[in-house]
Amino acid sequence: MIRTALTALLVLATASLALAAGPADEIIAAEKAWAKAVTSLDYAALEKILSPELIYAHSTGVIESKNQYLGKLKAGTQKYDVIDHQKTTVRPFGDAVVAHSILVMQGTSATGPFDHKLMMMHLWVKKNGQWQLAAHQTTRLTE
C-alpha cells in the first residue's frame, strides 16, 4: 500500500515537473543551442534552428535573410567568439515565443573586432514540433 502511494506520488511529481517545463524552459534551451551553434560554426545545427523565413537584423542596421547570414558565417566575414546571455525574459504567444535578452557578444565582423553589450529580441516559432528562430534584432547598449 505504501509502495503504491509512493509510486503514485512520484508519478504526479514527475508529471508536474513536465508541465512546469513549458515553452519558457524550451526557449531558454533553444537560445543556448543557438549561441553554441553560432560560436562553434555548427552549420548543421543552424540549418535546423534558423527558420527559412529568418529576418536577421544586426545592431548596425544590416538586415539579412537566412542564406545571407549563413553566407557571412561561412565566408568568415562574421564570427562570434562569445555570446553570453546575462538576462532573458520569455513571453509565449501560442506557437510563437518572444525572448528578450541582455547579452554580451564578442567576435569579428567585416569592420574588425567587436565587444558589445546588446539588447536582443528573438521571435521563435514552433514548426513541426521544433522551435525555430524566425527573427533576430539587436540594439547596442551604452550601459
Query: Which domains are seen in the chain, by residue range?
Result: 22-140 (3.10.450.50)
The stretches of 40-128 forming alpha helices (DSSP H) are 43-49, 66-75
Rounded mean pLDDT of the chain?
A: 88
Does position 12 have pLDDT exceeding 80, yes or no? no
User: Does the pLDDT at position 13 exceed 70?
Assistant: no
What's the pLDDT at 1?
54
d(CA 42, CA 62): 23
Q: What is the mean predicted confidence (pLDDT) over 1-26?
A: 54
Higher-pLDDT residue of 143 and 41 is: 41
Q: Are strands 79-93 and 96-109 parallel, antiparallel or unpaired?
A: antiparallel
Q: Is the pTM of this model over 0.95?
A: no
The residue that leads in pLDDT, 2 or 32, is 32
**SS3 of residue 132 by DSSP:** strand
User: Given this model, what pLDDT does residue 19 score?
Assistant: 39
- Find the angle CA(122)-CA(79)-CA(67) to the nearest 5 degrees: 60
Predicted pLDDT at 8: 44
| Whole-number Å distance between alpha carbons of 98 and 87 | 14
Give the number of other Cβ atoms within 10 Å of residue 110's Cβ: 11
Phi, psi dihedral angles at 77 (to 5 degrees): -80, -10
